[in-house]
Structures are given as C-alpha cells and as structure tokens.
Amino acid sequence: MKSRLSLSLFAVFASLLFACNKETSKEDGNGAVPVGGDFYANVDGNQWNADSVQLILVSSDGVTITGTSKTGAQISMILPEFKTGTFAVDPQSLAYAMYTNLLSSVVSVYVSNAGTASGTITITSIDTVNHLVNGSFQFTLTNPADNTTKTVTEGVFAYVPYIGGTGNNNPPPSSSDTIKAKVDGVLFDAAQVEVSITSGQLLIAGFSADLQKDIAILMPAGITPGSYNMDFATGLYIGIYNPDPTTTLISQNDGVLTIISNNTVTKRIKGTFSFIASPVSNGTPATITEGYFALNY
C-alpha cells in the first residue's frame, strides 16, 4: 500500500533531506510551467537564497516547506494544513518556523515557539496539476539558548514543487520495494516505502510501521552504478536517519552509497549504503550499516 511522506521527514529537510538544485524558468505564453522555483528572503538584512535545497512535503498531518542555501543557511516551516491562507507563527501557534546554519561549527537554532517570536506564513496558491506552490513569509525567531533573535523579512517561495498530497502522480511502490538496514546493530526493515523525484533528485525513504522512524537516501535520479561518498555538504548523496519525528541525524562525509544497478527505462534501482548519522542540532549519533534498497521509482 502506498504511504505518504510523513512530517517525520521534516527533519530530512530540516537537514537537507534530502538537494534540489534551483531552476528559474517562468511561465511563457504557451503555458509552460517552471521545473524549479524561487525561494528567497532577507535574514537580518542580508539576502538569503535557497540555491541548494528547495522542498515542500505534504502529508495528512500538514506541510513542511524547507529551503537551504549552498552555505548551509536553512529556513524551515511547518503548517498544520495544506491550503491557501495565512498562518500565524508564535509560541502558541500550530504553525512553526525555524532558522539554522547546518554547516556552522556551532549550530544555533532559532525557532518560533520560544520567547517573543512572531510572524506569518502565507500560501497564496496551490497548483494541483503541476504540483507547485506559491507563498510568502516573514517572522522574527528566537534562539532559546541565549534569547538572541533572527529577523526574516520579504520571504518568497514561488513555483516550488511539492511532494505528496491530493493528486500526487508519483508511481506507487511495488510489493517488492525494500529498504532495510541495521541501526546500531538493530534491524530496521521499512514497513512503508516512499519514492519521489524532484528537480532531478531521487528521494527514497523507508518508514517504520508507526511512522515514528525513517531512513532516507537522496541521490541524482540518473545515478550510475558505482560507489559515492555520502556527505550533506555535497548536496548530492545524502543519508538521513530520524529516530523520532523531532530528531534529525545526517551523513557528514562518513558514509558510502553503492549503486548496484539503475535501469532508467524500467525505473528500478538497487543499492547498498552505510553511514554515521550525526546530529544536526541535537540527538545521539547512530551507526547505519548493512543498508540495502531495491525499488521502483
């Protein structure tokens, strides 16, 4: 049975997840639609651009919107519903926003559910045919560790692709789709598998039966057989492990992805992986070994 990408993968793309390169084509007179999107803002008066990762994930629990720059600066937003409208973010709201720099030697996390944080996130339109979202955002976030703030203004996400939700035309996984690995020596055998392609990047994810844990791998869709270093900084080959919905662990130059085969005609890929899953901002490192996947995409 086909699963939907859950908000536990917020961690992925509060970490990543997962490096969709920015492409900026716009609609033309023939009705062509962009294959990527614009995602930018001012952060404390400085221009920020999501030129490494742009990803919107939709599930029955809501939607996550995440963008990451090539320098590691990341803005992530969670909304309780996938619909047009304006959502307030503050310490009491269901909507949530976060800013951090994943490549900083000392990771500081600024959030909307602490101190005097406040702001809004607006979804102005949803294109359910081409799976594109437009909207805007602005907020002031607080670092609970020292009560410093980060001000984000003039935020825009335009023509950014989304995954999941009503009308998703991703092919359902077959009964033979498999993702498994050992996590600190304990077998993780995914009860549900999700596969998607966004801006040329293939995302495969396996979820536990209760959707509380997941392992995911990001790679180029046209990847060829061979071995690849799994490092978040490259934006190409990334491993992610979420032991729970609030903890993100990612590969940081300490993993190997091996592609056994990738038939781009039949859309079937097989491979192995192993990596040390290291915390983005909190959590205990986990050792992922004997990873294996075989699935359709």
Q: What is the pLDDT of residue 56?
A: 87
**What confidence tens digit (pLDDT) does each residue in 238-253 have?**
999 989 877 888 898 7
Q: Is the pLDDT of residue 51 over 90?
A: no
Q: Are 203 and 197 in contact (CB under 8 A)?
A: yes
Q: Are 55 and 66 in contact (CB under 8 A)?
A: yes
Beta strand ranges found along 32-148 (DSSP E): 38-43, 46-49, 53-59, 62-68, 73-79, 85-89, 96-101, 110-111, 118-127, 132-142
3-class secondary-structure state, position 285: coil
Q: Is the pLDDT of residue 18 over 60?
A: no
Query: b/e string for 160-170 if b means 16 or more Cβ within 10 A?
Result: bbbbbbeebeb
> Average pLDDT of 139-152?
93
Rg of the chain over Cα atoms, rounded to whole angstroms, equals 18
At residue 282 the predicted structure's pLDDT band, cuts being 50, 70 and 90, is low
- Highest mean pLDDT among 82-96, 187-201, 226-240 belongs to 82-96
Q: Which amino acid is at 66?
A: T
- Residue 154 CB partners (closer than 8 Å, separation 6+): 41, 42, 138
Higher pLDDT, 117 or 232: 117
Higher pLDDT, 159 or 10: 159
Q: Is the pLDDT of residue 164 over 50?
A: yes
Q: Where are the domains of the chain?
A: 7-163, 178-296
**What confidence tens digit (pLDDT) does each residue in 68-97 have?**
888 889 999 999 999 999 999 999 898 999
> Average pLDDT of 32-60?
80
**What confidence tens digit (pLDDT) does each residue in 28-40 have?**
333 333 335 899 9
> Average pLDDT of 53-79?
86
